[in-house]
Structure 1
Amino acid sequence: MSACTHLLLFGATGDLARRMLLPSLFALDTEGLLPQCLRIIATARSAHDDASFQALAADTLPEAADPQARSRFLARLSYVALDASDQQGFAALAEAVPDRGNLAIFLSTAPALFGATIAGLASAGLAGPGARLALEKPLGDSLAASRTINDAVAAAYPEDRTFRIDHYLGKETVQNLMGFRFANTLFEPLWNAAHIAHVQISIGETVGLEGRGDYYDGMGALRDMVQNHMLQLVALLAMEPPARLDPASVRDEKVKVLRSLRPIDAASVEACSVRGQYTAGAIDGVAVPGYTADLGRASDTETFVALKAYVDNWRWKGVPFYLRTGKRAPERLSEIIVQFRAVPHSIFGAAPLAANKLVITLQPDENIRLSMMAKAPGLDQDGLKLRELPLDIGLPNAFAESRRRIAYERLLLDLIEGRQTLFVRRDEVEAQWQWIDAIRAGWAARGMAARPHSAGTWGPSAAIALTERDDVTWHD
């Protein structure tokens, strides 16, 4: 694919555009990474003209930015008001795109509008061979709903021109998982059930609903976080080495992992999953209300979920993957723990030996830390004394010359230039939904209600029991 000359930005007045998309595009422009000819056509229902939208966009840019750079970026922007449910409006949108053979479309709208929007784009001639479409989540709320959306997309945009976004895949440390695993002979021979005891993935948010109550209450933690971000991390951690670093090879290996996930169904759901919902509590010493008070009505939607998952293949047979995520957690955190097995025999007598542990932190700070045993200084008259020591790779320090990027910078640039490796393929999405739907069906069959727990904690006590039954402790 060649670089596009026009970027059509749906939902351009929304929260995602203001916080992430416009600042990311500006950063790319500032560094000279956008094609000089690229025009950005923004669209939403709001009544704006070019000048008023450019003023809105200017407010999203860093105050300290170079005035000349700001002016150059804002000059790329134009605006067309559009109600996506009105098919007649797409003709005016098409008139603003003179080069439809090199067009990228970023769709950040409500899922209910996907069908009408895609139909309108196709009817206006904006789905031709040179047009590519990026879709922001959620892509449905079940396997059936996802297939409906994917069918609508496929009717106008073939798979090789469809870019499904999971913004976690744009994070530097997530991308570094492949580099870390497949560029170092130190770890890949040990990356299997013979040497790894278990894996933990924790994603915590200190925030509550933040004005997204209706959306979140219809989704819950399982569908909002596990179905996409967490399962993509599992796939990257557990995948086999791809033959090449190209979109097809990488995504082929990821989907094999997702299809190898052991189903959590009605028979195993109580032993392998925990649902929680935060009540009133405190975050950093500040009192916060409970979920139903935030929402303004009664609800059994889970705001916390913990799972014990297995990847049933030769590499990972019997290795549990413990996943947990929740709102109003005690800290903002995205972290992966790879716990290696203990040495088979200790020659150091009664001295306790801690098994090696790899800690990969995605946020708030990107870091890779390996804990290992080393001799403590001394004369050792009473025997060799060992101590656990961390080897830290602080990525911001190791690459101090590089600016820390917003994940959307990479994803938008890849969309503009036509690279699909960091986007999710249809069979990946549907494999994820199939696994998630089985869990939700199991919850319904067993009548599993969300257990209350105080805000500022990592879920109900059942989440602790989920790991401790296996003599494992969450890494806190």
Structure 2
Amino acid sequence: MIDRLLLLGATGDLAGRFLLPALARLSADGRMPDGLQVVGGAAQDWDDRTFRSHVATRLREHAGDVPATVRDALVGRLRYRAVDPAAAGTVAAAARAFDDDDAADRAAVAVYLALPPAVFPAMLGALGDADLPAGSRIAVEKPFGTDLASAAALNGLLTRVTGGVEEAAFRVDHFLGMPTVQALLDLRAPGRPLAPVWDSAAIAEVEVLWEETLGLEGRADFYDRTGAVRDVMQNHMLQVLTLVAMELPARQTEGDLHAAKLELLRSVRVLSAAEIPARSRRARYTAGTLSGTGATGGRTVPGYTDEDGVDPARGTETYAEVLLELDTPRWTGTRFVLRTGKALGTPRKGIALHFRTAAPACDPCDAERGAADRSWIELDAPEEGRPPGAQVAAPGERTAYGQVLTDLLSGGTRLSVSGEEAEQAWRIVDPVLQAWAQDAVPLLEYPAGGAGPPLLGGTVGSRRE
């Protein structure tokens, strides 16, 4: 197991809210390597003391459940280096800022890029010049590229930096680490109640939903350059689709699972230019009141185009819906709908199954609004006592990032997306985004806190009522 972690973007929100708290919880559970060394790198001209003080504050906020002695021990081991991807020497210096870094036989380093996607190419280029030790791994957060061409270019950079070792390139999809998502394969395994009805003869439509009551919450600079499709549909939601629809491999080794997911992605039929207007929908929210009782619930928000940091000319969508079909014997005739939106009236992340007849009894499926032919599989149950929409990491998210770090340091790939998977996912959504950019599909509007725009025509639909 790698015992050196270089966290680039160490002063950012991802590191402070998820990664560093995950390290603290793993340390408390005894699941981190003995003597783990962590070096943080970011743009600020800080020293070790300033960085440690910053991390201690973030851990009190986001890992208060971890004993103070464990948090203090982690903070005391941290080191910091200012890095600038345009100055490759600073990145190389950070990669060597470990004990015995001058030794001839340097130990492997796990490098985590907790950075804005726009920085990835420059940082990967700098890492390529840093002469990382053999066995090192590089974790890259999503979104991986902005389209198929940029994803292929990033894969090329990763290939150069890692010497062509695919396992050394860790394309993070933390949602795969959610316990409920990992349980999807068991849900449809042989001998389980759903196994005999897991095909088009029984299921008319499958909806993969990622609906949030949250608005931008200060993330305009990132989100306005990303949008709903690039933020969650191209990665999280298509990965969930693969777990729902792929053929279960005889052995569930990491290699076999990646091969099965890739085969499924290749089977998704790309929408033609003529089909896209009828099979996709985009929208953005207008002024309204966010629902719920959490930190954001009941708060009036401006329309998306009036949010600070938003450029209305970009036409960024906060809602996206796409209807897909799979060219496989199992799923011919079943519709697959991917739908995501921000500032909606009800938070839902899960899978809605629409059966052609009565839905079978299934644990952990719930009846979909009492309908006899619908079942709901929840993928993001809120913490007990935690209001929906609250800006607090749910237990599943905590577990997920702990699993990501464990995989990264131990050499696992279960929570990583292969280079081919990433490119196949872009193959599916690229034509839709290109058509939207040409205004082939109108940009609709919906009030914040409402149900969202009308569903695509011809789908069974699982509307929030």
Normalising TM by the smaller chain, what interval? 0.7 to 0.9
Q: How far apart in 2 are the matches of 1:120 and 1:270?
A: 42
Name 2:388's counterpart in structure 1: none
SS at match of 1:339: strand
Q: CA RMSD in A?
A: 2.3
Q: How far apart in 2 are the matches of 1:170 and 1:313?
A: 27
SS at match of 2:224: helix
Cα shift at 1:14: 0.4
Name 1:389's counterpart in structure 2: none
Equivalent of 1:153, from 136, 158, 170?
158
Cα shift at 1:187: 1.7
Aligned residue identity for 1:357: R
Q: How far apart in 2 are the matches of 1:64 and 1:259?
A: 43
Name 1:349's counterpart in structure 2: none
1:41-440 alignment, distance < 5 Å? 41-61=39-59, 62-63=63-64, 65-97=66-98, 98=101, 100-126=106-132, 128-157=133-162, 158-182=165-189, 184-284=191-291, 285-295=298-308, 296-299=310-313, 300-342=315-357, 355-365=372-382, 405-440=398-433
Distance 1:86 1:354, change over 3 A: closer
Q: How far apart in 2 are the matches of 1:446 and 1:11?
A: 36
Cα shift at 1:176: 0.7
Single out whichever of 402-411 and 449-458 deviates more from structure 2: 402-411
Name 2:12's counterpart in structure 1: 14
Q: How far apart in 2 are the matches of 1:95 and 1:200?
A: 47
Cα shift at 1:172: 0.7
Name 1:348's counterpart in structure 2: none
Q: How far apart in 2 are the matches of 1:429 and 1:403?
A: 23
Q: Number of residues paired by the alignment?
A: 427
Aligned residue identity for 1:407: A
Q: Is the 8 A contact 1:266 1:443 kept in 2?
A: no
Q: How far apart in 1 are the matches of 2:79 and 2:50?
A: 10
Q: How far apart in 1 are the matches of 2:83 and 2:460?
A: 57
Q: How far apart in 2 are the matches of 1:115 and 1:214?
A: 19
Name 2:389's counterpart in structure 1: none
Q: How far apart in 1 are the matches of 2:445 and 2:112?
A: 39
Cα shift at 1:160: 1.7
Q: Is the 8 A contact 1:262 1:310 kept in 2?
A: yes
Q: How far apart in 1 are the matches of 2:205 and 2:131?
A: 51
Q: How far apart in 1 are the matches of 2:71 and 2:435?
A: 53
Q: How far apart in 2 are the matches of 1:92 and 1:237?
A: 44
Q: How far apart in 1 are the matches of 2:378 and 2:140?
A: 27
Q: How far apart in 2 are the matches of 1:411 and 1:255?
A: 20
Name 1:36's counterpart in structure 2: 34
Q: Is the 8 A contact 1:173 1:366 kept in 2?
A: no
Bigger radius of gyration = 1
Distance 1:64 1:438, change over 3 A: closer
- Structure 1 segments unaligned to the other structure (5+ residues): 345-352, 368-401
Distance 1:152 1:185, change over 3 A: same
Aligned residue identity for 1:122: G
Q: How far apart in 2 are the matches of 1:145 and 1:20?
A: 27
Name 1:23's counterpart in structure 2: 21
Q: Is the 8 A contact 2:110 2:137 kept in 1?
A: yes
Residues 444-470 of structure 1, C-alpha deviations (whole Å, 9 max, x = no match): 456323111111123212x2xx25x34
Q: Is the 8 A contact 2:286 2:445 kept in 1?
A: yes
Q: How far apart in 2 are the matches of 1:443 and 1:192?
A: 32
Distance 1:213 1:125, change over 3 A: same
Aligned residue identity for 1:413: T
Q: How far apart in 2 are the matches of 1:146 and 1:286?
A: 38
Residues 272-327 of structure 1, C-alpha deviations (whole Å, 9 max, x = no match): 11111111112224322110111454242211111211112101111011221111
Q: How far apart in 2 are the matches of 1:427 and 1:404?
A: 26
SS at match of 1:406: helix
Name 2:448's counterpart in structure 1: 455
Name 1:5's counterpart in structure 2: 3
Distance 1:211 1:58, change over 3 A: same
Q: How far apart in 2 are the matches of 1:260 and 1:318?
A: 14
Name 1:373's counterpart in structure 2: none
Q: How far apart in 2 are the matches of 1:196 and 1:475?
A: 21
Distance 1:179 1:232, change over 3 A: same
Q: Is the 8 A contact 1:168 1:174 kept in 2?
A: yes
SS at match of 2:379: strand
Q: How far apart in 1 are the matches of 2:383 and 2:189?
A: 19
